[in-house]
Amino acid sequence: MVQLVGSLRKELADSLSACRVLVVGAGGIGCELLKNLVLTGFKNIEVIDLDTIDVSNLNRQFLFQKKHVGKSKAQVAKESVLQFCPTANITAYHDSIMNPDYNVEFFRNFMLVMNALDNRAARNHVNRMCLAADIPLIESGTAGYLGQVTVIKKGLTECYECQPKPTQKTFPGCTIRNTPSEPIHCIVWAKYLFNQLFGEEDADQEVSPDTADPELSWNPADTEARATASDQDGDIKRVSTKDWARSTGYDAVKLFNKVGFSLFKDDIQYLLTMDKLWKKRKAPLPLDWLEIQELGKILEVTGTGLKDQQVLGVAGYSQLFSCSVETLRSILADKGDGAELVWDKDDPPAMDFVTAAANLRMHIFSMNMKSRFDIKSMAGNIIPAIATTNAVIAGLIVLEALKILSGDVEQCRTIFLNKQPNPRKKLLVPCALDPPSANCYVCASKPEVTVKLNVHKTLVLALQDKILKEKFGMVAPDVQIEDGKGTILISSEEGETEANNSKFLSDFGIRNGSRLQVDDFLQDYTLLVNVIHCEDLEKDVEFEVVGDAPDKAPTPPSAQEDKNVANGNKDSAEPSTSSKAPAEQDDVLIVDSDEEEPSSSTMDVRMESGGHKRKLHDAETGEASAKRQRLDQPSAADEDDDDIIALD
């Protein structure tokens, strides 16, 4: 007779009460997960998150209330959970998981780690720490109605970094509001503006300058006086955008450059007072309505063919902005007091407004403007974060955790939450976990990569920051040249090798075929880097990683080649946990306007369409992974969601 405690076997229930688990991230998924864990019977939980609560979190992170804004997410989440489960033992850390204090020994204190993150750097780091500690990791992620959960276990499954991932396409809110560098940034800003003026206002869709930008190191008291374009302080007065616009009668000229809410003049001049933002960027150019009207006497149009495929000049888009504002104002007035408009890519006035506003902002920030056709294709599929998706994924995380704690790791699956049911009427589709591969540069027994660069132009600092830290996800790398002398090129100890930073690699005898042994002691991670000297890299390309697996460079004589060890286990070489897969075209853009640092989601959420696989890359981070073996039938043809832009 099986003895039950609630719905669980007594042995499993006892295991839950005794085991110690770590939750990394206390945001959208993290809140749901903490609630699920304590209600399932987990008693010893530690949660870590560096972020603080913002008002925009309150619509989906239910452990937080308005009174908590500005407080630590981890601490408030702990306090909220203890209110409905006071017997739980929860420890909260308001800190970054990448802090050296949370080393391999820290991770070994847990039976299980669960990620609820929203950025790739932190995911990479937790992945490596769990491999080094040989602790099971459950990864998860959501984007709109799509979600995914998967399990990572050293030696049994591929790790998070096994699959090649495209360049991450996540955009913090401060990028949208302060420093746009791509047309998509301006298009998202224009959609935010539409909602602020005519639709449902959302604190998560602010369009005025972001004074909390982490790049800033200016003194508002000193620079405010220089924002002379407005009466006091640019657009930093926190008044309702819609209320102000209504008070002006939606006057297009006032929206352009009048006191209070100035989109293309005063706000830009206020941005210019944020000095540090423009030290390494081209500063924006404010627009003035009257000056543009003078230019408008000569209407500039580029491009041929259909009207939607033509690009108007600044004056043309200014006129389009004015006309669309008037049209939308009239539509809103006809709907009566308290009415709101909903943006629709097939609504001509709404599309005209976004086209005009986005192009004017592109011009201000020195980007090439886009046709209405191009903007419509990019702006048509913006989706919000969905609280219920987070809830479903959090539930699936707990189910996978129960399998692990029952000793049934082989029964774990990658589970995809799709937007529409498949032919078997299932929204949740399980897939077999991919087996280990010897080609992963993180979890292989002897991780190795080949990097192509120009040794005469690459600085030691670029090797450290752009290649080892940014590309390969290291936190504090130490680099030794395998030249028979053991030359130390980079040391993680402060001050030891800083003098090398401004020197070129060739200054240290590094040439075609040189090998560098790189160690990150915090991650218990060793990587061998083969250097290929190349003088004909593409323009603006500083380096290239050659393939998934290293193409062996010519090996100079070295007595240190046999000193490599398996990451996380210096006594034996474990099999790798990856599977080789070519990088696939990224078709998802993520806008992270609610940056939960260091915390995006995780893997790839895929939708099946006839026999054609579509991926949602790394649900909140835009990352891709390889094809997986299906345990279910392919789903029916889904609606086309190319170039989705997900808003978290």
Q: What is the residue whose two structure tokens read 């579509």?
A: 614
pLDDT at 635: 40
Q: What is the residue whose two structure tokens read 């959208």?
A: 28
CA 58 from centre of chain: 20
pLDDT at 201: 72
Q: Is the dihedral of CA 468, 472, 473, 475 positive or negative?
A: negative
Read off the pLDDT of each residue in 107-123 and give the average, rounded to a whole number. 92
- C-alpha distances (whole Å) from 401 to each of 42, 133, 396 are 11, 18, 9
Helix, strand counts (H, E) of the chain = 17, 24
Please give the mean pLDDT across all residues of the chain.
Answer: 77
Give the domain ranges of the chain: 10-167+384-431, 173-217+240-380, 448-546
Q: At what angle do helices 387-405 and 28-40 cross, to 10 degrees?
A: 40
- The encoded tokens of residue 261 equal 């809410």
628 is in an annotated binding site: no
Contact 332, 198 (CB under 8 A): yes
448-546 belongs to CATH 3.30.9.10:
no
pLDDT at 312: 87
73 is in an annotated binding site: yes
Q: Name the residue with higher pLDDT: 356 or 273.
A: 356
Per the residue annotation, which of 19, 31, 130, 174 is the catalytic one? 174
CA distance 531 to 65: 53
Q: What is the residue whose two structure tokens read 């886009």?
A: 370
Summarised one tens digit per residue, pLDDT across range 369-403 is: 999 888 887 876 555 678 999 999 999 999 999 99
- The encoded tokens of residue 198 equal 């005519």
Read off the pLDDT of each residue in 439-452 and give the average, rounded to a whole number. 90
CA distance 422 to 111: 35
Confidence of residue 165 (pLDDT cuts 50, 70, 90): low
The DSSP code for 468 is I
27 is in an annotated binding site: yes
Residue 127 has pLDDT above 70, yes or no: yes
Q: Name the residue with higher pLDDT: 230 or 379.
A: 379
Q: Name the residue with higher pLDDT: 165 or 522.
A: 522
Residue 278: strand, helix, or coil: helix
DSSP notation for 520-563: ETTTTEEEEEEEEE-S-PPTT--EEE-SSSPPPPP----S-GGG
25 is in an annotated binding site: yes
440 is in an annotated binding site: yes
Least confident of 199-203, 346-350, 590-594: 590-594
495 is in an annotated binding site: no
Share of the chain above pLDDT 90, in %: 38
Between 3.40.1500.10, 3.40.50.720, 3.30.530.20, 3.40.50.300, what CATH number should domain 10-167+384-431 receive? 3.40.50.720
Contact 354, 191 (CB under 8 A): yes
Q: What is the residue whose two structure tokens read 């259909």?
A: 306
pLDDT at 73: 95
Q: What is the residue whose two structure tokens read 């979190």?
A: 57
CA distance 541 to 170: 21
Read off the pLDDT of each residue in 503-529 and give the average, rounded to a whole number. 94
Residue 217 has pLDDT above 70, yes or no: no
CA distance 387 to 66: 17
Q: What is the residue whose two structure tokens read 């063919």?
A: 305
The DSSP code for 465 is I
- The encoded tokens of residue 212 equal 């909390």
315 is in an annotated binding site: no
173-217+240-380 belongs to CATH 1.10.10.520:
yes
Read off the pLDDT of each residue in 54-58 and give the average, rounded to a whole number. 81
Residue 304 has pLDDT above 80, yes or no: no
186 is in an annotated binding site: no
Confidence of residue 648 (pLDDT cuts 50, 70, 90): very low
109 is in an annotated binding site: no
CA distance 600 to 336: 40
Q: Name the residue with higher pLDDT: 342 or 299.
A: 342
22 is in an annotated binding site: no
| Known catalytic membership, residue 174 | yes
Share of the chain above pLDDT 70, in %: 70
Confidence of residue 10 (pLDDT cuts 50, 70, 90): confident
Summarised one tens digit per residue, pLDDT across range 474-488 is: 999 999 999 888 899
59 is in an annotated binding site: yes
Summarised one tens digit per residue, pLDDT across range 561-618 is: 333 333 443 333 333 333 333 333 333 333 333 333 333 333 444 433 333 333 444 4
At position 330, the amino acid (one-letter code) is S
Beta strands in 316-461 (DSSP E): 382-383, 414-417, 428-431, 448-453
